[in-house]
Amino acid sequence: TTLESMQRRYANRNPKSLAFYNETLKHMPGANTRTVLHALPFPLTISHGQSTTLFSVDGHSYIDFLSEYSAGIYGHSNATIKAAIVKALDGGWNFGGKNQYEGELAKILVERFGNGMDMIRFCNSGTEANLMAIGAAIGFTGKQKILAFIGGYHGGPLSFPEASPKYSMNAKYDFILAPYNDIKATKAILSGLPPDSLAAILVEGMQGAGGSIPGQLDFLHYLRMAATDYEALFILDEVMTSRLAYRGLQSTLGISPDITTLGKWIGGGMGIGAFGGRREIMEMFDPRNGKLTHSGTFNNNVVTMAAGIAGCKIMDEDTVEKLNALGERLRNFIDTSIEKLLGAAATPKMYTTGLGSLFNITFAGPEKDVLHAVFYHYLLEHGIYIATRGFITMNIEHTEEHVETFGKVIEGFLAEYRDAL
Ligand code: PLP
């Protein structure tokens, strides 16, 4: 009933969003083209964004703590990126030819993530980057099996949720699944494989969509070693985690992947994916003598390439560090508030997980779905926007003040709902 009355208030507060929703329902299933953006009773329609603020068509504004699921690392309408895009647009935006931008972005990324990444190629999304990486591993090793992890997410057709869906939309690769952060179980699964069958191990250094669950250092090092032992490629999906250190999470972990996949923020906020790796792997794509092909009309599109160059320059070491420190501050603040009001930094029903500028506030137990929904609506009523699943990602426009504001709202929520937590 708490949730029902919140949803009623929400519907009353957002009549224009409701009208957009109803109109869109006629032409899109569930008025939706990104499952993750579905929210009950209907999602807000956003009219525009500026810096850290999102504005809805209903005239309300929200501090944006979702930051486009981490791709919006620059905040909205970043002036430097906008200028780079406008400058590029003046020369036309897609040539059906090589352009002067793609090589520059490739150089920036290879120099930055060069730990095991000698060469790189671009595509349009993180999903595509992972599909290409898997294809490359199969092509390179001549083997078929791909070890992935329960709770892992590498894109729509590469997702392995805890509770498997009724109908899997996954690409039909020969996947085998192991539990994340479980060396013993993974070892047993690997040792049960037919000889010479493993092409790759595909893993996130922190499971993102799986709930911001950091990979344990010994687990990830074990996987790196196992890939070598089985003569398979170690593919580290850094689509999300590449923001966690200047040279990616792999630099913090001290791990050299055979292939790294990237996406999200590296395109300056435009659609992008990239995969890069050791020279002998990437040279399979060399049209002069390689055995693999890789095409895509928009792989080198001028807007994305120009925005990516500008964006990557903004994300220098200092900016990356400050962003992650601010995320940690907010998360600590939330943990401290939970401890102050509920008696322990995490309760079985409410806790945070994550790293740096990427984290989750998670509710567990039989009431978890209701708690997530109540929390989501509570935050919206107090002017804060996050993902329905409790996912929070910081952007570089966030300040201490935003952290304080969010912290106070969390304290209000805890005070009001302590009995349910
Ligand atoms: N890999 C990871 C770890 C992700 O978090 C995501 C997106 O959330 C993807 C891949 C897919 O990227 P995209 O949405 O650009 O296809």
Task: Give 115's pLDDT tier (boundaries 50, 70, 90).
Answer: confident
Task: Give 402's pLDDT tier (boundaries 50, 70, 90).
Answer: very high
Q: Which atom of ligand 1 is nearest to the CA of 124?
A: 15
- Residues 130-155, mean pLDDT to the nearest whole number: 98
Record the tokens describing residue 137, joined without a space: 């591993």
CA of 154 relative to ligand 1 center, distance in Å: 5
Q: Which atom of ligand 1 is nearest to the CA of 209?
A: 5
CA 306, CA 310: separation in Å to the nearest integer?
A: 6
Q: Ligand 1 pocket check: which of 239, 360, 393 to mutate, most ligand atoms within 8 Å of Cβ?
A: 239
Write the class of the CATH domain 2-73+317-420.
Answer: alpha beta
Task: Give 132's pLDDT tier (boundaries 50, 70, 90).
Answer: very high
The pTM score is 0.97
CA of 71 relative to ligand 1 center, distance in Å: 10
Q: Which atom of ligand 1 is nearest to the CA of 127?
A: 16
- Residues 47-55, mean pLDDT to the nearest whole number: 98
CA 278, CA 256: separation in Å to the nearest integer?
A: 10
- Residues 96-106, mean pLDDT to the nearest whole number: 97
Within 8 A by CB and 6+ apart from 181, the residues are 213, 215, 216, 219
Q: Which atom of ligand 1 is nearest to the CA of 70?
A: 8
Phi, psi angle pair for 323, to nearest 5°: -60, -45
Q: In the chain, where are the structural domains located?
A: 2-73+317-420, 79-314
Phi, psi angle pair for 12, to nearest 5°: -70, -35
Amino acid at position 128, single letter: E
Record the tokens describing residue 258, joined without a space: 């055979």
Take atom 2 of ligand 1 and give the residue whose Cα is closest: 154
Q: Ligand 1 pocket check: which of 154, 160, 202, 260 to mutate, most ligand atoms within 8 Å of Cβ?
A: 154
CA 18, CA 64: separation in Å to the nearest integer?
A: 21
CA 49, CA 399: separation in Å to the nearest integer?
A: 17
CA 105, CA 128: separation in Å to the nearest integer?
A: 18
State the helix-helix crossing angle for 2-13 and 368-381, rounded to 10 degrees: 40
Span 79-314 CATH architecture: 3-Layer(aba) Sandwich (3.40)
Q: Is the pLDDT of residue 339 over 80?
A: yes
Write down the pLDDT at residue 342. 86
CA 341, CA 352: separation in Å to the nearest integer?
A: 15
Q: Ligand 1 pocket check: which of 169, 240, 241 to mutate, most ligand atoms within 8 Å of Cβ?
A: 240
Record the tokens describing residue 8, joined without a space: 């009623």
Per the listing, tokens 């993974």 go with 186
Q: Which atom of ligand 1 is nearest to the CA of 207?
A: 3
CA of 163 relative to ligand 1 center, distance in Å: 19
State the helix-helix crossing angle for 102-112 and 302-314, rounded to 10 degrees: 30
Write down the pLDDT at residue 344. 78
CA 97, CA 91: separation in Å to the nearest integer?
A: 13
Q: Is the pLDDT of residue 347 over 80?
A: no
Same fold, 2-73+317-420 and 79-314: no
Q: Ligand 1 pocket check: which of 127, 180, 243 to mutate, most ligand atoms within 8 Å of Cβ?
A: 127
| Nearest of 17, 103, 74 to residue 243 by alpha carbon | 74
Tally the C-alpha atoms within 13 A of residue 158's C-alpha that lie toward its C-beta.
23
Q: Which atom of ligand 1 is nearest to the CA of 263?
A: 15
Write the ipTM: 0.99
Q: Is the pLDDT of residue 114 over 80?
A: yes
Write down the pLDDT at residue 90. 95
- Residues 159-169, mean pLDDT to the nearest whole number: 92
Burial 284-298 (b: 16+ CB within 10 A, else e): bbeeeeeebebeeee
Q: Which H or E element spans position 359?
A: strand 358-363
Q: What is the pLDDT of residues 231-265, one digit of tens each?
A: 999 999 999 999 999 999 999 999 999 999 999 99
| Nearest of 44, 89, 6, 4 to residue 302 by alpha carbon | 89
Within 8 A by CB and 6+ apart from 76, the residues are 48, 49, 50, 51, 52, 53, 54, 64, 397
Q: Which atom of ligand 1 is nearest to the CA of 130?
A: 10
Pocket of ligand 1 (CB under 6 A): 69, 125-127, 130, 153-155, 204, 208-209, 237, 239-240, 263, 273
Contact indicator for 363, 351 with CB cutoff of 8 Å: no
User: Higher pLDDT residue, 284 or 343?
Assistant: 284
Record the tokens describing residue 412, joined without a space: 């209000």
- Quick one: DSSP state of residue 74? T
Q: What is the DSSP string of 298-344?
A: TTT-HHHHHHHHHHHHHS-HHHHHHHHHHHHHHHHHHHHHHHHHHSS
Percent of the chain with pLDDT over 70: 100
Take atom 5 of ligand 1 and give the residue whose Cα is closest: 240
